[in-house]
Amino acid sequence: MTTDDTTKQTISPATQQLAIAAALATGIDNERAAAAWHLIAGAMQIVLLAHERPDPDALGSALGLAHALAPLGKTCVVACADPVPANYDSFLPGHASVVTELPHERFDLVIALDAGELSRYGALYTRHQTFFDHATILNLDHHITSVGCGKVTIIDPASAATAELLTLLLLNRGIEISLDAAKCLLAGIITDTRAFEFDATTARTLLAGAYLVGCGAVPETIIKPMYRMKPLAKVRLWGIVLNRSLGSAAENRIVWASVRQRDLAEAGATADMDDGLASYLMDIDGVAIALIFKEGDSNKGNETRLSIRALAPYDAAAIAAHFGGGGHIRAAGATLPMDLETAIHTVIPYVEATLTEQ
């Protein structure tokens, strides 16, 4: 093969990784990174905390940092008030080592990840409050609403995930990101952005993802179990429910479906398998408000559970509040003391009225 001056040299993967690392290392203020690392450098026994009801960013950040620190001779314990959800097992190396109770209190550093208030670490905090209230804490988080709870706190709302901030910190300090660390950090970034879909995703988020993929982490191994894999019974249930009950009003801007106990039995489904159905209805073209009506267990009397999803400017929480429930502006719910058909005939006209008021 011949080459000449006009032939472009291809960049080797190793060179590309170095270039990405150099770019990401500038994403965090040197002084703040140094202050954070000073606490880590001086500690040997470190407990890394993921917040209660953990998501993959909290756990992936804690496990990812623990994987990065282990080769430096640090003894790390990853702790979370709640157990690791079973469907995270396949993509979070080290998940089996996560403890829900501190083995002792002889830690010289606490690293609190993905939440900026100690109360968010749940029962772990309340059971060891005296220890935590006196401990040296490094707090790393990305939520703009966080107040911070560390001797050194870095809250970076420009990071789409705490795992993105950690990737910047590790690269700024020249710390090697192993394959296991990369898998955990990529899980945090992918799940906090719903696979780079949410508008928190920036070019830098993708660059951090690119670096971690360059370390050997594979997006599909996270995206598939998180967003696509489902039991056959769940698909059967959705098929039954959509075929029998899909309703629409206001020129299809309102859609709803209902889940009966009979449907669950027919599909061989468990009660949680309508999870995701409301979001699925929101992906119908033109829909502004989606509702799921779910028949209560008959031995609890007449009861219907309502889930509501809404696009701006509509307010799911306000609709839920009208029926005695609550939630967030885009996703809310209520429990109505009536049977399924009565609930549908009560709620839909009210939602139609809400829509025409806007």
Q: By CB under 5 A, name the binding residues for Mn ion.
A: 57, 114, 161-162, 192
Question: CB-wise, 90 or 146, nearer to Mn ion?
Answer: 146
Q: Which is nearer to Mn ion, 66 or 257 (CB)?
A: 66
Distance, in Å, from the CA atom of 90 to the CA atom of 184, rounded to the nearest integer, reads 11
Minimum distance from residue 100 beta carbon to Mn ion (Å): 20
Torsion, Cα 198 227 333 126, to 10 degrees, reads -90
Least distance in Å: CB of 58 to Mn ion?
Answer: 6
Q: Which is nearer to Mn ion, 23 or 200 (CB)?
A: 200
Tokens standing for residue 120: 């968010």
Residue nearest to Mn ion (CB): 57
The CA distance from 177 to 186, in Å, is: 11
Strand ranges for 8-146 from DSSP E? 45-50, 75-80, 109-113, 137-141
Q: Residue 155 or residue 255: which is nearer to Mn ion going by CB? A: 155
Residue closer to Mn ion, measured from CB, 60 or 94? 60
Distance separating alpha carbons of residues 183 and 215, to the nearest angstrom: 9
165 token code pair? 């901030």
CB 293 within 8 A of CB 306: yes
Nearest distance from C-beta of residue 347 to Mn ion, angstroms: 33
User: φ and ψ at 18, to 5 degrees?
Assistant: -60, -40
Please, which residue, 161 or 240, has the CB nearer to Mn ion? 161
Q: Which is nearer to Mn ion, 65 or 267 (CB)?
A: 65
Displacement of CA 356 from its chain's centroid (Å): 34
Quote the least distance from Cβ 185 to Mn ion, whole Å: 12
By DSSP bridging, strand 75-80 and strand 289-295 are unpaired
* Cβ 170 to Mn ion shortest distance, Å: 17
- Report the C-alpha gap between 93 and 203 in whole angstroms: 27
Task: Please list the residues that pair with 139 across neighbouring strands.
Answer: 112, 153
Strand partners, 307: 292, 333
299-305 long-range contacts (CB < 8 A, ≥24 apart) are 301/337, 302/337, 302/338, 302/339, 303/335, 303/336, 303/337, 303/338, 304/335, 304/336, 304/338, 304/339, 304/340, 304/342, 304/343, 305/333, 305/334, 305/335, 305/336
Find the shortest distance in angstroms from Cβ 87 to Mn ion.
Answer: 18
Q: Which one, 80 or 291, has the nearer CB to Mn ion? A: 80
Residue 282 beta carbon to Mn ion: minimum distance, rounded to whole angstroms: 22
Name the minimum Å distance from CB 50 to Mn ion: 10
* CA–CA gap between residue 305 and residue 293 (Å, rounded): 6
Of the pair 156, 192, the CB lying nearest Mn ion is at 192
CB of 113 to Mn ion, least distance (A): 9
